[in-house]
């Protein structure tokens, strides 16, 4: 096995795991008023999945035994932090900005630790960024699958994976430029956290999926409306259809402009009627 060039300190890894456990408790608190209520064991398991899931995925992708299973402190930190977060959830849920900041920091830490660990094993930059992004969102994916809810990162409104990818990329670029590895980790965490917080506060989302289709398809599906000319007397009759590229069919009862011109010419050549 290849020895890493840099090892994540145990205290830093446990800090990320603990914060992930608290984040799991905050998520479990949302199920209090639902029929499927969660007990203490459920809260602890959700905290463990979020706190340890990212690191587990990171180590599997890097190709080494998961660090979260080589020491009992990971389970203790994640489960204990989740229970503490459960007891304090009534207070924490009142501070929305604190929850958003905690969520952003957790994503940043898991993403930065995943990227730097991949880079320290000699993995190329692009795969290392991918591993970091997977580590950042992996715990949340496992949590959603456990609870049977839609996976948040796959839907519009979530900027988890995008924020993690931006932060992991900034870390990798800084490392390529020769910045100290600890400074790179801090930079990755800060960039991810700031990006995530700004996305929440400003309502920034990735655009929804959209297919590029031919004009014929748009006409057949009705997305480009077709209207009769006899129904349009003024531009006000179009309303909002003018912005859709609506196609206006000619009125068969109304003579064409060329026909009207020929009629005018023929009228000019006819002799004037005689007066009696």
Structural domain boundaries of the chain?
Answer: 10-202, 215-267
On whether the pTM is more than 0.75, the answer is no
The residue with greater pLDDT, 127 or 252, is: 127
pLDDT tens-digit map of 64-101:
889 888 889 999 999 999 999 888 887 877 777 777 88
- Residue 3 scores a pLDDT above 60: no
**264 vs 274: CA distance, rounded Å:** 20
What confidence score (pLDDT) does residue 5 get? 58
**137 vs 160: CA distance, rounded Å:** 7
What confidence score (pLDDT) does residue 252 get? 56
What confidence score (pLDDT) does residue 270 get? 52
According to DSSP, the residues that pair with 228 across neighbouring strands are: 249
pLDDT tens-digit map of 214-246:
555 555 555 556 555 555 556 555 555 555 555
Could you write out the three-class secondary structure of 168-233? Answer: HHHHHHHHHCCCCHHHHHHHHHHHHHHHHHHHHHHCCCCCCCCCCCCHHHHHHCCCCCEEEHHHCC
């Amino acid at each position: 096995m290849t020895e890493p060039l840099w090892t994540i300190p145990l205290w830093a890894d446990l800090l990320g795991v603990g914060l992930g456990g608290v984040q799991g408790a905050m998520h479990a608190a949302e199920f209090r008023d639902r029929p499927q209520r969660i007990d203490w064991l459920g809260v602890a398991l959700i905290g463990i999945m979020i706190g340890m899931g990212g690191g587990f995925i990171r180590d599997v992708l890097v190709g080494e035994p998961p660090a979260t299973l080589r020491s009992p402190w990971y389970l203790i930190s994640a489960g204990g932090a989740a229970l503490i977060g459960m007891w304090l959830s009534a207070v924490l849920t009142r501070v929305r900005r604190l929850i958003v900041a905690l969520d952003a920091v957790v994503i940043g830490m898991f993403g930065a630790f995943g990227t730097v660990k991949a880079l320290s094993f000699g993995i190329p930059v692009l795969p290392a960024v991918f591993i970091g992004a997977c580590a950042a969102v992996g715990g949340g994916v496992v949590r959603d699958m456990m609870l049977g809810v839609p996976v948040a990162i796959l839907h519009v409104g979530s900027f988890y994976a995008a924020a993690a990818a931006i932060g992991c990329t900034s870390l990798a670029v800084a490392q390529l430029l020769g910045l100290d590895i600890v400074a790179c980790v801090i930079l990755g965490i800060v960039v991810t956290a700031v990006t995530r917080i700004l996305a929440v506060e400003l309502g920034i989302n990735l655009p929804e999926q959209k297919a590029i289709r031919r004009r014929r398809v748009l006409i057949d599906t009705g997305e480009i409306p077709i209207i009769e000319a006899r129904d349009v007397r003024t531009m006000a009759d179009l309303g909002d259809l003018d912005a859709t590229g609506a196609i206006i069919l000619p009125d068969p009862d109304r003579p064409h402009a060329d026909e009207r011109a020929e009629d005018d010419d023929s009228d000019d050549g006819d002799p004037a009627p005689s007066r009696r």
